[in-house]
Amino acid sequence: MTDHRAAAATPPAAPTPAAPTPPTPPADSALVADSALTAGSPTPFGTRLASAMAEHGPLCVGIDPHPSLLAAWGLPDDASGLRVFAMRVVEVLGGRVAALKPQSALFERHGSAGVAVLEDVLTACRGTGTLSVLDVKRGDIGSTMAGYAQAYLADGAPLAADAVTLSPYLGLGSLAPAVELAHTTGRGVFVLALTSNPEGAAVQHAVGADGRAVAAGIVDGVGALNASGPAPQGLGSVGLVVGATIGDAARRLGIDLAGSRAPLLAPGFGAQGAGRAEVAEVFAGAEQAVLASTSRAVLAAGPDGLVAAAEQAVADVRAALAD
């Protein structure tokens, strides 16, 4: 199995023991990673993601420990249940899918104990070689954004992930500290463009003074960031979030999803109703960039059904993108 971990990372803290025991990073993994850094620039996130998708298929499984799912798994709705749930997902699906996407909100609702579990989940992802996309949807004025960037994209940060989700609705330029740090450390960001929820259209489809939709400007801006990023070709490290539920919105708004070289994180597949036909419609012409994301549809299969559910999801996405 290829290791798609960040090229640079300081030794992670050992995961807190849990049942089931999470995968533990090899003792020398960080040393290997550090020597890769000193030997040159870290491998860009977009390059690592392309390789992970080629190996495992274009699927990201979300780790969304909703109270209802904890109950369905027979676990308490507290930090101990959260730990067993999330670590089991990493243990079972780590090394089998291109990426895992912990949903920060559902860890944060358990307070500091939940955030401690999230730290261990991210550490465990690193141990399996599976890319982690931390879904935090952050966005703030530049000076504060630098703090968020340090929290999620700096080598050795307790909550460091391979990539994070960011909101550009304080202005795409306000995300610069995160983009710059991601480029430096071989990490990535996914910028919300056309989200899967129906309420998003009121903001994202709004047309500005230049006659272009807000989302179109974001896609253009992300294309420019990738053009000046560390990878001269192929997938860039600045991705876009484009919901699989948006129908023909991209086409109607004159957005060329493939033109930005952005990896396209595509939630909405599964529990939100998008299936094979919807994925095929939304991403026609941009198939190579799609990383479909699904959470509840896989997690509802329970601890023993995770592998089969993820394999089915990969097959469905592949078929949709081949249609």
Ligand X SMILES: O=C(O)c1cc(=O)[nH]c(=O)n1[C@@H]1O[C@H](COP(=O)(O)O)[C@@H](O)[C@H]1O
Answer yes or no whether residue 102 interacts with ligand X by CB under 6 A. no
3-state SS, the chain, equals CCCCCCCCCCCCCCCCCCCCCCCCCCCCHHHHHHHHHHCCCCCCHHHHHHHHHHHHCCEEEEECCCHHHHHHCCCCCCHHHHHHHHHHHHHHHCCCCCEEEEEHHHHHCCHHHHHHHHHHHHHHHHHHCCEEEEEEEECCCHHHHHHHHHHHHCCCCCCCCCEEEECCCCCHHHHHHHHHHHHHHCCEEEEEEECCCHHHHHHHCCECCCCCEHHHHHHHHHHHHHHCCCCCCCCCCEEEEECCCCCCHHHHCCCCHHHHCCCEEECCECCCCECHHHHHHHCCCCHHHEEEEECHHHHCCCCCCHHHHHHHHHHHHHHHHHC
295 binds ligand X (CB under 6 A): yes
64 binds ligand X (CB under 6 A): yes
Query: 42 vs 236, which CB is nearer to ligand X?
Result: 236
Characterise 316 by phi-psi region: left (phi > 0), alpha (psi -120 to 50), beta (else).
Answer: alpha
Nearest distance, CB of residue 89 and ligand X, angstroms: 13
Q: Does 89 bind ligand X (CB under 6 A)?
A: no
Closest distance to ligand X from the beta carbon of 241 (Å): 5
Nearest CB to ligand X, comparing residues 29 and 103: 103
Is residue 271 within the footprint of ligand X (CB under 6 A)? yes
Number of residues this chain uses to bind ligand X (CB under 6 A): 21
Of 4-12, 227-235, 291-299, 308-316, the segment contacting ligand X by CB under 6 A is 291-299
Q: How far is the CB of 240 from ligand X (least distance, A)?
A: 10
Scanning 50-58, 138-146, 274-282, 290-298 for contacts with ligand X by CB under 6 A, the matching segment is 290-298
Burial label for 56, CB within 10 Å (0-12, 13-18, 19+), is buried
Q: Give catalytic status of residue 101 as yes or no.
A: no
Which of 104, 174, 185, 294 is close enough to bind ligand X by CB under 6 A?
294
Q: Which of 4, 162, 270, 291 binds ligand X (CB under 6 A)?
A: 270
When binding is defined by CB under 6 A, the residue of 9, 87, 214, 241 that contacts ligand X is 241
Least distance CB 70 / ligand X (angstroms): 14
Calpha distance 206→212 (Å, rounded): 8
Of the residues 137, 205, 251, 296, only one is catalytic, namely 137
Choice from 243, 289, 316, 317 touching ligand X (CB under 6 A): 243
CB of 139 to ligand X, least distance (A): 12
Beta carbon nearer to ligand X, 195 or 260: 195
272 contacts ligand X (rule: CB under 6 A) = yes
Report, in Å, the least distance between residue 101 CB and ligand X.
Answer: 6
How would you class 147 by CB atoms within 10 Å of its CB: exposed for 0-12, middle for 13-18, buried for 19 or more? Answer: exposed
Q: Which of residues 160-219 bind ligand X (CB under 6 A)?
A: 165, 195-197
Q: Which residues are catalytic?
A: 137
Residues that bind ligand X (CB under 6 A): 62, 64, 103, 135, 137, 165, 195-197, 241, 243, 267-268, 270-272, 293-297
